[in-house]
Amino acid sequence: MKQHSLRFSFEARYCTLGAPGNTAWLVCHGYGQLAPYFIRNFSALADLGHYIVAPEGLSRFYLQDHKGRVGASWMTREERLNDIDNYLRYLDAVAEDSGLVQASEINLLGFSQGVATISRWAMHTTLAYQKLVLWAGVFPPDLPLDLSSRCLQQVRLYQVWGEQDPFLNREETEKQAANLRALKPAHFRELSFKGEHSLHTPSLLEIVAETD
C-alpha cells in the first residue's frame, strides 16, 4: 500500500459578530463545538464595538450515535502535521477574508482544544497582535521556545481557567503558568473564576479592559 496526499480547493465557513472596526478578535472554539454557537459567548465584546471572527475546525462529526448534534475538531493524532498545516492556511485565509487584518488592534483567544490552534497560528502569522488568551487549554509543548519567546515579546499573554474545571487541576495550571512566564512575554497574567470548562463573561471583560 502506498499513501498519497494532494492539495485541492476547499470551502469552509467562519462566523463574525459585530462590524469590522478598530478592535478585532480571532477566537477558536474547543473540541466538539461549532462556530455559530461558540461566537455567542462574545456578544458582550460586540456590544463594546469589537469585531469577533470565529473560524471553525475543518472536521465535523456527530457527537453521539451518528445522529443529532454535530461538533467540529481542529485535529487528531492521525495525519496530525497535515491537519496543522491545513488549519494554519485556513486561519490565514479567514483573517484576510474577514477583514480582521485591517484592524488596528488584533487579539487572539483559544478555548480548550482551540488553545493549541490559536497558539500555533500566533507563532505562524506575520500579523501584529496585542493579546493572546489561552482559556482552559494547553499551550503546545512542541513549539520552539525561541520562536515562542520572540513572538510574545510585545504581547499581553493570559492564562484563564475555571476553578471547577474537570479537565484541569491546579498543579497543571501552575506548571503551565511557569512555562509561559519563562517565555518572557511583555505581560503575563493568570485569571481564574468560579466555574467549570466554559467561558466567563466577567473575566473576558476584565481582559478587554486591561491596557498598557
CATH number, position 194: 3.40.50.1820
Q: Which residue has the cell 471553525?
A: 56
Mean pLDDT of the region 55-84: 91
Please indicate, yes or no, if residue 49 is contained in any of the structural domains: yes
- How many domains does the chain fold into? 1
Please indicate, yes or no, if residue 63 is contained in any of the structural domains: yes
Whole-number Å distance between alpha carbons of 25 and 161: 19
Whole-number Å distance between alpha carbons of 190 and 205: 14
Q: Is 53 helix (H, G, I), strand (E, B) or coil?
A: strand
Per-residue pLDDT at 211: 77
For residue 76, give the C-alpha cell. Answer: 487528531
pLDDT in tens, 90-132: 999 999 999 999 999 999 999 999 999 999 999 999 999 999 9
Per-residue pLDDT at 202: 98
What does the chain come to in residues? Answer: 212
Provide φ and ψ at 98, rounded to 5°: -80, -15
Provide φ and ψ at 169, rounded to 5°: -135, 165
Per-residue pLDDT at 117: 97
The model's pTM is: 0.95
Confidence band of 8 (pLDDT split at 50, 70, 90): confident
Whole-number Å distance between alpha carbons of 68 and 133: 31
Please indicate, yes or no, if residue 5 is contained in any of the structural domains: no
Please indicate, yes or no, if residue 93 is contained in any of the structural domains: yes
The mean pLDDT of the chain is 95
Confidence band of 30 (pLDDT split at 50, 70, 90): very high
Rounded CA Rg of the chain:
17
Please indicate, yes or no, if residue 4 is contained in any of the structural domains: no
Domain that holds residue 29: 14-209
Contact 14, 55 (CB under 8 A): yes
Q: What is the dihedral of CA 117, 121, 123, 127, to 10 degrees?
A: -150
Please indicate, yes or no, if residue 72 is contained in any of the structural domains: yes
Please indicate, yes or no, if residue 83 is contained in any of the structural domains: yes
Per-residue pLDDT at 212: 54
Q: Which of 162, 119, 152 is nearest to 138 (CA)?
A: 119
pLDDT in tens, 34-57: 999 999 999 999 999 999 999 999
Return the beta strands (E) in the chain as ranges. 14-17, 23-28, 51-55, 59-64, 67-73, 105-111, 131-135, 156-162, 187-193
Per-residue pLDDT at 61: 85
